[in-house]
Amino acid sequence: MLIAASFAADAAEGPADTVYRNGKVYTVDAADSVHEALAVRDGRIVFVGDAAGAAKLTGEGTEVVDLGGRVMMPGLVDAHMHPLSAGRKLVACSLDYASLSVAEFQARIQACLDATKEKEPDGWLEVWNWFQQSMTPAGTVPSHADLDVLQTQRPIVVHNSFGHTSLANARALALGKITAATPDPENGLIARDAAGAPTGMLEDSAQHILDPLLPEPTDSDRIAAARTSLDAMRKEGITTFLDVSADAETIAAYAAVAREGTLTARAHFAVEIEPEEGKEPEKAVAALLEIARRFDQGPVVVRPTITVRNAKLYMDGVITAPAFTGVMVEPYLENRGTAQKPKWVSSGNRGPAPYFAADVLKALLLKLAAAGIDPHIHADGDGAVRFSLDGYEAMRAVYPGEAIRAAIAHVEVVHPDDFARFGKLDVIPVPSFQWAKPAGDTIEGARDYLGPQRFKYFEPLGFLHDAGARIAYGSDWPVDPLDEWFGLKVGVTRTNSPAAGPQYAGRLGDDVGLSRATVIRAITMNSSFALHQEKETGSLEVGKLADLIVLDRDPFTIPAEEIAAVDVLLTVVGGEVVHRAGPFALAMKSP
């Protein structure tokens, strides 16, 4: 970090509204410079520099905040999450991502049933945040029979936290008319036993068979979930987010909060286009533009507003066992030996076909680019990543440069031949750093099924960075709990928490990880760039919006493992305090 000269706007415009002094202001500017003071006027930064310079902007009405040597940095910009869904799940029946045995799994769900007995016998129970890949013992795959023994007559569906798998009990299967004769839907899979009967496990689009039967949240439910999600985000220091897979109802909930004047983060939305819709690209893009016409509030301004200029496409599912719905270049492996003497050989299974055909993807990407819409593609397996890059290469032949900010989310497995293509094609990888650690999903769920050659490149954060990719960060909340600082820690160390147990000690794979400065830039400046907001946010520079946070410790000097313990003491959006804690809890004005 570099201590640099002061920078100030025209002091003749009057004193600042707020001066922050005696701090370590980490700017994330081009030089990663560090200063000791910052001043804000009318929601924008008017000074970054030393105490003497800040004093010149301090007037009778200026609020002066002593940072006490603490780190100030840009607010966090999360470029891939599902916050409305997360808000709903925070107040619903949740398994809390826990590692559970079948008996514990059953007990947690029975407790939810017992707490809502008034909904017997026909009210649906939806269970959330099930970390299927971490069930114990390793390799446990429950079926509807494990739900059918519970003390209830109600239909039950349990949703994996990854969002690509659900488990239904027999009552739910019957209501959904899912039988041995039910064909797999396009881009989905109904898991079956040896006799062909459904086991209750529904993968990807097969989950949607039950959607018409599930209780639809009301507008009030959605608005409450939006408020809940914003409260969680400001405590984490998130000042801008991209909600991927959004629909009109989702955006309407945040629009209602904005009308209340309580939108506390800059809200971007990616409208999902399903594979079937993509076959008519002109119609699909027109529908997205109509949603944008209804909700987009134009250029970013001081107060948080709503932006709709992204499209979300799913190219595959998840790579981990037992789903294997990630699209792979080479087949997954399978054990044709025993648990004691394994023999891992090719299974012949490369996962499903990409969810969008090549000609459909190319035509859709060109239509989106022509409309000024940024595509954001979910691709987990290296086959899906390559396929998406091929589509972007065709798009870049017509639309080069930075006008269209193309992104690929997750990129858990990338073929080494494709590392450099991200930089060459101006494609932004948006991984979830917290996945790059030893855990149930990466060890039992992936290591042996990928084999040592692919596993060495698993979660290739450092490999992509070293190949010239501009990496942005997305938490994918609520796939995981919202814990941005744990994610940043993992991005640096590639280690799990000691609380995960000795079986998950050590580093993941051969990737060297990212530097502290790189993970901070990924979640600030690079994510701002992905959202066309880099001229307004992502760094603390004169003229930019005063979106900033203050931390309880310095993530650059503490041991790397302690980055996970960072707490946000102050979150400011457009100059307004939206979260305060610790020494700032009573010391500052707030709206």
What pLDDT is recorded for position 266? Answer: 98
Biggest alpha carbon–alpha carbon distance for the chain: 81
Strands (E), 439-494: none
Across 491-546, the runs of DSSP E, i.e. the strands, are none
| 455-487 pLDDT per residue, tens | 999 999 999 999 999 999 999 999 999 999 999
Amino acid found at 475:
S
CB 320 within 8 A of CB 385: no
Query: CATH number for the 84-213 domain, one of 3.30.420.40, 3.10.310.70, 3.40.1790.10, 3.40.50.300?
Result: 3.10.310.70
Percent of the chain with pLDDT over 70: 97
Task: Read off the pLDDT of residues 113-127 as tens digits, 9 standing for 90 and up.
Answer: 999 999 999 999 999
Topology of domain 315-511, CATH: TIM Barrel (3.20.20)
Summarised one tens digit per residue, pLDDT across range 203-237 is: 989 999 999 999 889 999 999 999 999 999 999 99
Nearest to 476 by CA among 536, 561, 528, 410: 410
Please give the C-alpha separations between residue 423 and each of 151, 263, 394, 428, 470, in angstroms, as whole numbers.
Answer: 55, 34, 15, 8, 7
What are phi and psi for residue 257, nearest 5 degrees? -65, -40
- 2-74+540-584 in CATH: which number? 2.30.40.10
The encoded tokens of residue 504 equal: 């998950």
Q: Whose CA is closest to 334, among 347, 351, 322, 350?
A: 347
Query: Measured between alpha carbons, how far is 356 from 372 in angstroms, rounded to an integer?
Result: 21
Q: What is the pLDDT of residues 132-153, one digit of tens each?
A: 888 989 889 999 999 999 999 9
Residues 6+ apart with CB under 8 A from 515: 492
- Give the pLDDT of residue 590: 44
Position 109 confidence tier, pLDDT thresholds 50, 70, 90: very high
CB of 269 within 8 A of CB of 310?
yes
Between CA 182 and CA 187 the distance in angstroms is: 14
pLDDT tens digits for range 178-200: 999 999 998 889 999 999 999 99
| Cα–Cα nearest to 304, from 559, 576, 571 | 576
Looking up tokens 């529908």, which residue turns up?
287
What does the domain layout of the chain look like in residue ranges?
Answer: 2-74+540-584, 84-213, 315-511
Phi, psi angle pair for 314, to nearest 5°: -95, 125
Count CA atoms within 13 Å of residue 369 on its CB side: 23
Asked if 500 contacts 439 with a C-beta cutoff of 8 angstroms, the reply is: yes
Determine the Cα–Cα distance for residues 211 and 585; give it in Å rounded to an integer.
44
pLDDT tens digit sequence for 521-559: 999 999 999 999 999 999 999 999 999 999 999 999 999
- Whether omega before 478 lies within 30 degrees of 0, making that bond cis, reads yes
By the 8 A CB rule, do 504 and 437 touch?
A: yes
CA distance 485 to 351: 33
